[in-house]
Amino acid sequence: MNKTRFEEMDVSKEIKKAVSDMGFEEASPIQAQAIPYLMEGRDVVGQAQTGTGKTAAFGIPIIERINSESRQLQSIVLCPTRELSIQVAKEIKKLAKYKKEIFVLPVYGGQPIERQIKALKKGVQIVIGTPGRVIDHIKRGTLKLDNIEMMVLDEADEMFDMGFRDDIELVINKTPKDRQTVFFSATMDKKIINFAKKYQKTPKYIRTVPKELTVPNIEQYYLKVKKGMKTEILSRLLDIQNSNLSIVFCNTKRKVDELIIELQGRGYFADGIHGDLKQSQRDKVMSKFRKGNIDILVATDVAARGIDVDNVDIVFNYDIPQDLEYYVHRIGRTARAGKTGKAYSLVVGRDINKLKDIEKYAKTKVVRKDIPTLNEVAESKTTDILGKIKHEIGISDLSKYETSVELLLEEGYKLKDIAAGLLKLYFDDKSEDKNRKLESKNSEEMERLYINIGRKDGVRPRHIVGGIYQLANISRDSIGDIDIYDKFSFIEAPRKYTNDILDSLNNNRIKGKKVRVEVAMDKKKKR
């Protein structure tokens, strides 16, 4: 099925930019089908499961059609629960990020009504609320629906099941008859269809029911983690699993860039692909992955489409996908050619609800795993090296090493102690090798530098690090923190390299823009 990129859709540049910030490159099926009709002002009945992007499907047209010069209420969305009301309001606010003077307010029970009344008096154009609290405001005269242009029922079937039909009718009857009316529902039984006929004008019916998806031969696990611990837990899993090749999926291009730097800083052979990279760059990374020059590929869903590498052992969902269908596509990158595979998902907070939707959608079971402890990581490494030792004993001529061991035995050392000492040296060397990059940065005096390119220039950390490496011939591992703002950035590098960086980068180009670099004398002022 052909996918529609947001860049190709007939929506404003502000919406496209907001969607890009949220990390989405392609419209989901319900978005691709519904948005054009809603933008035309047509009534729509959309059937789609939870987690398929319904909020953006109606949220984008709502935002696009708002008159920002008026603070009158112009759109209302009814939701069955306060949790969904809050969630929908948050997403619409994100989508309206670059639209000036658009005000969104969730109204629901459990929050002091006085706070909502105060906000309504200031003027909001979009209200998202539960039927009960919306009716409460209508009766108080604090919510007037006379100028409503679009009304949306989200999760209509759930609201009907909860007994809200009469409340919904009361609200609809307070709105103008020439309004645009939109129903979204996971199921589409007769009561929904008949209700739609009563209140809509020749609606367009859109149905995006998922096809049967199976996930054979894949062991699926999830770990409940804190947001700030994701990379640490991912690192422990990578160490314990010790896979040949693995793919780590992130929801956004920005997170791919950040995670690559974090993993490389921890000593892993990792690289990544996403939609901002040219095809030649993606091909280069994929070539390294297939050849085993890197063993961890970090990717977004769009960039990873078409990856066909037979010996991927494990897939990691660093972020739970927004689109349920993407989960199945992601984990399907392992267990190729009849082999078995594993998939691990890192779950933060309410991600657990998305995971339950995924289980229902894909008819699968994802088993909870405990977070591996540092002792378990150490035991796994020990087991791995013991296996390698057994292998060497079976195939190699060890006579020259036996002589050294015999010398220690003659000095009275026990064989068990000699073996344990050698293992300790091995692991200490490995640990030092893995952390040497970080330690060298911490031990050196770092200089903070200002550079006149930023996010609006399409710059990511990898562009700056790559520019320093190519122009100043300074190792990527030497670069410290990188803070990127809209029009400029700050980088940290060892002070001994400051002059080299200034001489090499000034008046050269990074990402096509001529750069100016200088020592950041006053951090606060520059910020």
User: Is the model's pLDDT at 49 over the cut of 80?
Assistant: no
Residue 9 has pLDDT above 50, yes or no: yes
Q: What is the pLDDT of residue 413?
A: 85
Distances in whole angstroms, Cα of residue 188 to Cα of each of 4, 158, 196, 208, 319: 25, 11, 10, 11, 31
Q: Partners of 447 in the beta sheet?
A: 493
Q: Judge whether residue 295 has pLDDT over 50.
A: yes
Lowest mean pLDDT among 11-20, 22-31, 419-428: 419-428
Average confidence score pLDDT of the chain: 84
pLDDT-derived band at 526 (thresholds 50, 70, 90) equals very low
CATH 3.40.720.10 fits 4-207, yes or no: no
Tell me the CB-side half-sphere exposure of residue 42, using CA atoms within 13 A.
15
DSSP category for residue 17: H
Digit-coded pLDDT (tens) for 306-322: 576 778 889 999 999 87
Range from 35-44, 270-279, 490-499 carrying the lowest mean pLDDT: 270-279
pLDDT tens string 415-438: 888 877 777 776 665 555 444 444
For 253-395, list the strands marked E by DSSP. 270-273, 296-299, 314-317, 341-347, 367-368
- What is the rounded CA–CA span in Å between residue 155 and residue 336? 37
3-state SS, residue 248: strand
- Predicted pLDDT at 266: 80
Q: Cβ atoms within 10 A of the Cβ of 425, count?
A: 10
Residue with tokens 């399409």: 458
List, in sequence order, every residue forming a beta bridge with 344; answer none if it has no partner. Answer: 221, 316
Cα–Cα distance for residue pair 37/57, rounded to 1 Å: 10
pLDDT for 385: 74
Hey, do 4-207 and 218-372 end up sharing a CATH topology, with the first three levels equal?
A: yes
Convert the pLDDT of each residue in 134-153 to its tens digit: 999 999 999 999 999 999 99
- The highest-confidence range among 58-67, 240-249, 358-367, by mean pLDDT, is 58-67
Q: Which residues of 293-329 are buried (b: 16+ CB within 10 A; e: fewer)?
A: ebbbbbbbbbbbeebeeeebbbbbbbbbbbbbbbbbb
Say yes or no to pLDDT of 44 above 90.
yes
- Break the chain into its structural domains and give their ranges: 4-207, 218-372, 375-442, 444-526
pLDDT value at residue 468 = 87
Yes or no: say if 265 and 403 are a contact pair by the CB < 8 Å rule.
no
Across 185-199, 236-250, 327-341, least confident range: 327-341
Report, as an integer, the average pLDDT of 333-350. Answer: 83
What fold, for 218-372? Rossmann fold (3.40.50)
> Would you say residue 504 has pLDDT above 60?
yes
CB 288 within 8 A of CB 315: no
Check pLDDT > 80 for residue 353.
yes
Alpha carbons 54 and 438: distance in angstroms, whole number? 44
Read off the pLDDT of residues 160-209 as tens digits, 9 standing for 90 and up.
888 899 999 999 999 999 999 999 987 777 888 899 899 999 999 998 76
Residue type, 48: A
Look at domain 444-526 and name its CATH class. alpha beta
Residue 155: name the closest of 128, 187, 199 by CA: 187
Q: What pLDDT score was predicted for residue 24? A: 75
Alpha helix positions (H), 29-126 = 29-39, 54-65, 82-95, 113-122
CA separation for the pair 359, 344 (Å, rounded): 14
pLDDT number for residue 305 = 62
Whether the model pTM is above 0.75: no
Which residues lie across from 448 on neighbouring strands?
492
